[in-house]
Amino acid sequence: MHCQYPQTRRCDQTDTYHGTAVADPYRWLEDPNSDETKAWVDSQNEVTFGYLHALPAVEPLKQRLTELWNYERYSVPFKRGGRYFYYKNDGLQNQAVLYTQPSLEAEPVVLLDPNTLSEDGTVALGSIAVSEDGRYLAYSLSSSGSDWLEWKVRDIETGQDTADHLRWSKFSGAAWSHDNQGFFYSRYDEPSADSQFEEVNYFQKLFYHRLGTPQSKDTLIYERPDQKEWGFQGQVTNDGRYLIISVWRGTERKNLIFYKDLQEPNSEVVELLSDFEASYGLIDNDGTTFWFQTDLDASRGRVIALDLNQGNVPQEIIPEAEETLDSVSLLNNQFVANYLKDAYTTIQIFDLTGQPLRTVELPGIGSAGGFDGKKEDTETFYRFSSFTVPSCIYRYNMETGEQSLFREADVAFDPNHYETQQVFYTSKDGTRVPMFITYKKGLVPNGQTPTLLYGYGGFNISLSPNFSVSNLVWLEMGGIYAVANLRGGGEYGETWHQAGTKLNKQNVFDDFISAAEWLIENNYTAPEHLAIMGGSNGGLLVGACMIQRPDLFAAVLPAVGVMDMLRFNQFTIGWAWESDYGSPQNPEEFGALYAYSPLHNLKSTSYPATLITTADHDDRVVPAHSFKFAAALQAVHQGDNPVLIRIETKAGHGAGKPTAKIIEEVADKWAFLAKTLDPDGKSLTV
């Protein structure tokens, strides 16, 4: 099916970086509000949807995705202010609904249904915080997928909102003071009206909002006019005594810890840990003793104690282990430590001195999370899932170690028909890298099976086994789904993360290319049947790999990708990614960025079939990245393979996307892959 692409105007824009002249002929596409850009979006979507809607697999895929998606999904319940809270989606609701109940046996009541806030489900519920007395809910909303948040307050007993309304918050939670009179939150100055989705975000400030007062009267708790990149996350300790301020800088792991004594209203903010030398996450406190999860002198993480009366001298409680410490909570005066062992979860329980008590027996190899509560709680909940097991919720007794199944997802498929294996392959420089491969039981590798390889490789984010209806449909069709745990992620701690950053970023692409080569060499698939997929930083990953090895893949699905590595830091929060990518303003780092930047390394050749996806309200990775990449790719592509861009409207980077939009996009992607990887219909069943 031949595509006639729209003509994209080229301009004469050229920038010079450290003596190197770099053309940017599609700079005008950076303005999403111009009539010319809007016309370009319309013309691209016309071509793309014309192609996709002609694919016979789209409608049956949409039907099957809708059928499988239609199951009740619950979050792990948590307890606040003497009440239980949880999220539930009946199946095809665009957004999950927040419920509350005074006890687990009581009838649950809808507390907040975001589906009622918009006709198309594009208003999503973000963070929530319950006041200590259980009377009020502070909650944030985002519209059309934007990172911008609006905070409101709901009376839990009446279900009615108060008059409180806060705007221009971003990358923030809320933390109630224990007098239940208000909460701490972070915000930016109001941006200009015509650039709120592109303007660079600097100078975050921490405020306290008192109930019943206008936002203009909020109390400024902390700001740093001398540090435009610093952000602040407030957290009130469980005893209500201290406000802990975690100071972050970009997306780097390292942070600072300041505190304020809330018993003394006029107390100053004290700098407890004032060097960006490690990451620190507050677990809990006992008086002036604070427990933190940290990677200070421990790449894979450990638990330390700090006494405010003894300065910032750490005492080790739980030492670094062979596994990577992912998270820690304190329940029943015991530490619940969630570890990653080769990218899957193990749970260990320790006493307050760090002595191991027991291992939580999980249902299998997969991902577990939850264990929320306060240090005196004897009961908690956790969820477990894997590539073939939908999320199940378990009730856990912290005193006895006994557990029971609390809720089980009822998805219309048999997990026994599928299996997952973990393999280890060798990357270009000899590094051993893990990969999960999932497929129908009984598969005999013959080099002909359509295979989808997924990766991320950045920002210390770990890819552990998780259930996905989208991926299940791909498996049902007869495809193989592979996930590579690349350097740049957090699977093996901070050393593994740093090995995929800045001047080491090429390691990530080498790891991914080596994963593809392993799948081919071991007869799972062949280049003509292999697709790669990734989103955000993963969009950069697959974009760079398709350019470095166009011969290795038949199809590429880059979603909301970072494609212009010379201008990523010019928009919204993009400057924060310099901790992983480096800066184009640094001569040495510019050389590395320019060498792999997808936008700048396209050449006149035949590329794999490509379906770029982005959204008009993405203010995390602005759509200009994908717009410019699509225009440049279409200009140089020599083959008959389609190279298309699908631009979603009233959507953002992905969070809060309505179920209906997700189903439509996945159906389009899988139909695109079926057409490309299995044109004769011999291997995939739709």
Interval 451-482: pLDDT, tens: 999 999 999 999 999 999 999 999 999 999 99
pLDDT of res. 480: 98
Q: Is the pLDDT of residue 654 over 70?
A: no
* Average confidence (pLDDT) over 597-602: 98
* Average confidence (pLDDT) over 170-180: 95
What's the mean pLDDT when you consider all of the chain?
94
657 pLDDT tier (thresholds 50, 70, 90)? confident
Q: Is the pLDDT of residue 418 over 70?
A: yes
195 pLDDT tier (thresholds 50, 70, 90)? low
1 pLDDT tier (thresholds 50, 70, 90)? low
Beta-strand ranges (E) seen in 332-399 are 334-341, 344-350, 356-360, 367-370, 379-385, 392-397
Q: Is the pLDDT of residue 649 over 80?
A: no
Q: Is the pLDDT of residue 650 over 70?
A: no
Interval 97-142: pLDDT, tens: 999 999 999 999 999 999 999 888 788 899 999 999 999 999 999 8
Interval 330-373: pLDDT, tens: 999 999 999 999 999 999 999 999 999 999 999 999 999 999 99
660 pLDDT tier (thresholds 50, 70, 90)? confident
Residues 6+ apart with CB under 8 A from 255: 246, 247, 248, 249, 276, 279, 280
Q: Is the pLDDT of residue 653 over 60?
A: no
pLDDT of res. 540: 98
Separation of alpha carbons 208 and 367, rounded Å: 36
Separation of alpha carbons 454 and 465, rounded Å: 12
Sheet holding 403-408, edge to edge: 367-370, 379-385, 392-397, 403-408
Q: Is the pLDDT of residue 35 over 60?
A: yes
pTM for the complete prediction?
0.92
Tell me whether strands 270-273 and 280-286 are parallel, antiparallel or unpaired.
unpaired
State the amino acid at position 602 in one-letter form: L
**Residues annotated as part of the active site:** 536, 618, 653
Tell me whether strands 530-535 and 451-454 are parallel, antiparallel or unpaired.
parallel
Residue 419's nearest CA partner among 456, 402, 444 is 444
Residues 6+ apart with CB under 8 A from 246: 232, 233, 235, 255, 256, 257, 280, 281, 282
Interval 219-248: pLDDT, tens: 999 999 999 999 999 999 999 999 999 999
Q: Is the pLDDT of residue 8 over 90?
A: yes
User: 450 near 473, Cβ under 8 Å?
Assistant: no
144 pLDDT tier (thresholds 50, 70, 90)? confident
Interval 547-559: pLDDT, tens: 999 999 999 999 9
